Structure formats: structure tokens, C-alpha cells
Amino acid sequence: MKDNDVNSMSSLKKAFLILHQLSESPYEYTPTLLAQKTGVNRTTIHRILQELADFDVVIKNESTKTYRIGPNIYRMGLVYHHNLNFKSKLEEILNMMSQESKESVGLAIRDEEKIISLYEIETFQPLKMNYKPGLFYPMNRGCYGKCLMAYYDENRVKELLYSQKFEKISKNTLTDPEEILEEYRKIREQGFVISEEETFDYAMGVGIPIFDSKGNVSTCVAISFLKQANYKEKSEELKEILFKYSDTLSKYIP
């Protein structure tokens, strides 16, 4: 942003510019560094920071002379979180993905060690997959199970894998713990997951992890379809749609 543009800003806009910078890494700044990053002069920076501190919108670290986001911003964020209809917005995005892909789209989360489906949009499939919200999914098969456990604590994942036996319910169902761990590694490396006839014949799925604001993964969005001759090309097309909406989805993941 040009200096002239910044100088012509109102004090309110300059305050928002400062708060926006404080929300970027390393999340604590001296007034001098804030002036360098924003283009706002130091005198104005000091004045605005003091006014924001009066309302606990920012907090000053007296030992380092740095400022960071304060508790009032956290409180406002909680109000936003509780008042905004995230469910409605997520369903809207998933419906858009389903309209574009002409296939079934779903979203699942990992709550501790449980993988549960939250949303399933099945509007275009002539043969329904019968995935339903509220179902729990195993860790060894399907887009949800493999993707979400691939980003879970590795030591705990190994304990879980070796403490149970997996049934081979379809020709590509993974049952060996080492093969499952290798599949997890592959998912993390490539950033997406493929499920090919792991749950029943001709069932295909493509999914991606959704990263939250801290870079963690507890959400997976996936598109399912019936395997046909062009399934590899179809998988690539669906993968593009998934990545197209990934950033938008991440905004609504707490």
C-alpha cells in the first residue's frame, strides 16, 4: 500500500490496518515494526495502540514493548462464532460442489479418535451411496477414515491399528497395519486421498484434508462416485473441484 493511500485513511481504517497486521505471524509487534509493516507513522501508531489498549482490544507486553491482540477481540470472535450460522454456510458450499461435480459430496470430522459424518449431499447419483450424517467411519478405509487418521497423532494411530483386526469387506480394503500406515504417509505427502472399491464394488471417492487456522486437520471433504471406464480422469476433475473450494471451507471450520 502506498504511503499516500495510508496517510489519507481515517483513524478507524488505520486501526483496522494495525489489527490486521497483529493477526499475522509473529503476532506480537513493536510500534516501530508496525509502522514499517503498515506505512502508518509511529506517532499515529502509538496513539491508536493506546486507544485500543484502553478497551483491551490489544495488550502491551511491558518487558518486550510489543503489542498483541487482546481479550476483547477474542470475546467478539466468540460472539461471531455463536451467532453465525456455520451449518447453513457449510451446506451451501457443499451444495455448490455437488452442483458443479454432479456427484455426492460430504464432510466429516475427527472428534478425538472418532470419525463422524456431519454433512452428506446426495442429489445427482442415480444409485445412492447411502452415506448419512451421524455415521461413524473406520480408520482403515474410505476417504474419511484414511484422511483424518493420516493427520492424527502417529504414535496413537499405531496403537489403534495394532489393537484391532480389520475385516476385508471389499477387494481393496486395507487390513494390514503397515499397509495402512503407508497409505497415511502417502496421503500426507500428496495432500489428497483416493478410495477405490474399499467399501463395496465400484465405489470411488476423492477427498482432501481441510486445515484450520492453526494448520491442524480434523475435517475432510470428499466426493463419491461410481467407478466407470474413465474413473482416473474423473478423479482428477473432482480433485480440482475439491481444491477449488478448500480455502472457502476452511474459513468456516472452527
The tens digit of pLDDT for each residue in 132-154 reads: 666 789 999 999 999 999 999 99
Output DSSP code: residue 69: E
Q: How far is the C-alpha of 168 from the C-alpha of 203, rounded, in Å?
A: 15
Please determine, for residue 57, whether its predicted confidence score (pLDDT) is greater than 70.
yes
d(CA 69, CA 182): 41
Please give the average per-residue pLDDT across 19-32, as a whole number. Answer: 92
Q: From edge to edge, which strands make up the β-sheet containing 114-121?
A: 114-121, 104-111, 217-226, 203-211, 193-196
Average pLDDT over residues 51-64: 93
> What interhelical angle do 142-150 and 177-190 show, nearest 10?
80
**Which residue, chain included where needed, has cell 478423479?**
235
For the chain, domains (ranges, CATH) are 3-80 (1.10.10.10), 84-250 (3.30.450.40)
What mean pLDDT is predicted for residues 142-171? Answer: 95
In which band, very low, low, confident or very high, does the pLDDT at 193 lie, cut at 50, 70 and 90? very high
Please say if the pLDDT value at position 77 is more than 60. Answer: yes
- What is the crossing angle of helices 86-101 and 231-250, to 10°? 160
**Which pLDDT value is given to residue 118?**
86
pLDDT-based confidence at 124, cuts 50/70/90? low
Report the pLDDT value the prediction gives residue 76, as an integer from 0 to 100.
80
- 90 versus 140: which is more confidently predicted? 140
